[in-house]
Amino acid sequence: MIELDALREALPEILDGLWLTIFMWLAGSALAPAVGLAVALGRRFGPIWVERPLWAMVEVIRGTPFLVQMFLLYYGGPFIGLDLEPTTAGLLGLTIYGSAYFSEILRGGLIAVPKGHVEAALCVGLDRGQIIRRILIPEMTLLVLPASVNMFVVLLKETAVLSIITVPELTMAVTGFGSANFAFTQSAFVLALGYWSLTEITGWVGRQLERRLDRFRIA
């Protein structure tokens, strides 16, 4: 059993870990789609000398575990002059990891936009930049919303990996408490419950947003 006095003493640290987890997740969830969109546009409309390196980067990131990427970034970075604080390295790692997956999601959305809409935009005199801003990105957003929400959930759960580079997020705080009080099973259950709750909230928000955008969805 977990002693209540020990839990009360550890509660501020656990709450700090929770807020840091939410911050890292929200920041990563804002940066990763932005970088992913730039990569998707570069692969979709860029010249071959831009498309090929971006393709290689995406394949490498998607083909290696996030755990390995974080080890290389944080512990291997100093060998090439990249000496980052744990939180900075964690946010950068989440952004890079998420951007590779978002780039594929968004690139698929760009391809799925009906060609007739682009042709109609060309007929009325819109240039490529205007077509991307006014036609492709708005329609793509509607098409990729469910897959994007799923990716946000993945990023949320991947924040647990950041504990291996000493980021004091929720996983590190809860497992540290469990180790100190020999409550490994109980702490693992609480940790799983915390991530499940955040995941359910994210899914609910995504479903509400999808219902609101359904009125604008193009059949």
| pLDDT tens per residue across span 170-189 | 999 888 877 777 777 878 88
Contact in structure between 43 and 99 (CB atoms under 8 Å):
no
Give SS3 for 20: helix
What pLDDT does residue 3 have? 59
Report the alpha-carbon distance of residue 132 to residue 199 in Å, rounded: 32
Give SS3 for 154: helix
Report the alpha-carbon distance of residue 49 to residue 61 in Å, rounded: 19
* pTM for this entry: 0.87
The CATH homologous superfamily of the domain defined by 4-216: MetI-like (1.10.3720.10)
Contact in structure between 93 and 69 (CB atoms under 8 Å):
yes
Per-10-residue mean pLDDT for the chain, 219 residues long?
Answer: 64 88 95 95 90 95 96 93 93 96 93 83 82 82 89 95 92 84 80 91 89 64
Report the alpha-carbon distance of residue 54 to residue 57 in Å, rounded: 5
What pLDDT does residue 6 have? 65
Contact in structure between 206 and 141 (CB atoms under 8 Å):
no
What pLDDT does residue 215 have? 65
What pLDDT does residue 143 have? 85
In the chain, what are the domain boundaries? 4-216
